[in-house]
């Protein structure tokens, strides 16, 4: 994964296993905080992130035309910000990644799948308030 430094703009390569770790920018040596916002991933990055991340990865399967998906998106962002050191978040556009959606039996969107050690640990379908999501995900974090 490539992350830009907020201080100097240098692009830093961060392995998937370190997405939830704080680090230092390779250019200016300023702190590079753990990734809080969801990462847009396709089929190429998906396996690396879900298998190699040292923290659980919450994947939001969504589509741009889906109204409920737009309601879930800020909740997923908020979960990433609140639990950034214990949880990585990612988004998969099902229109652009249909094979990936079929592989994980995504029949309705939004569907949130929590991957832990490369395996599905939990699945949430449809919109639900943030507290309900947190309660359902808490045993896995």
Catalytically annotated residues = 66, 69
**3-state class (DSSP) for residue 140:** helix
Contact 109, 94 (CB under 8 A): yes
CA distances to 36, 59, 74, 97 from 52, in Å: 17, 14, 25, 20
Mention every residue, 6+ apart, whose C-beta is less than 8 A from residue 133.
75, 79, 112, 124
Rounded CA-CA distance 41/8 in Å is 25
């Amino acid at each position: 994964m490539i992350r830009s430094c907020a201080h100097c703009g240098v692009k830093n390569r961060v392995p998937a296993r370190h997405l939830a770790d704080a680090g230092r920018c390779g250019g200016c040596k300023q702190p590079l905080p753990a990734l809080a916002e969801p990462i847009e991933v396709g089929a190429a990055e998906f396996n690396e992130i879900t298998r190699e991340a040292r923290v659980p990865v919450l994947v939001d399967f969504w589509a741009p035309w889906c109204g409920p998906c737009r309601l879930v998106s800020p909740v997923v962002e908020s979960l990433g910000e609140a639990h950034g050191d214990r949880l990585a978040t990612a988004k998969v556009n099902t229109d652009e990644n249909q094979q990936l959606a079929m592989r994980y039996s995504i029949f309705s969107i939004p569907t949130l799948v929590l991957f832990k050690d490369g395996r599905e640990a939990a699945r949430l379908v449809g919109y639900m308030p943030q507290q309900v999501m947190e309660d359902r995900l808490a045993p896995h974090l």
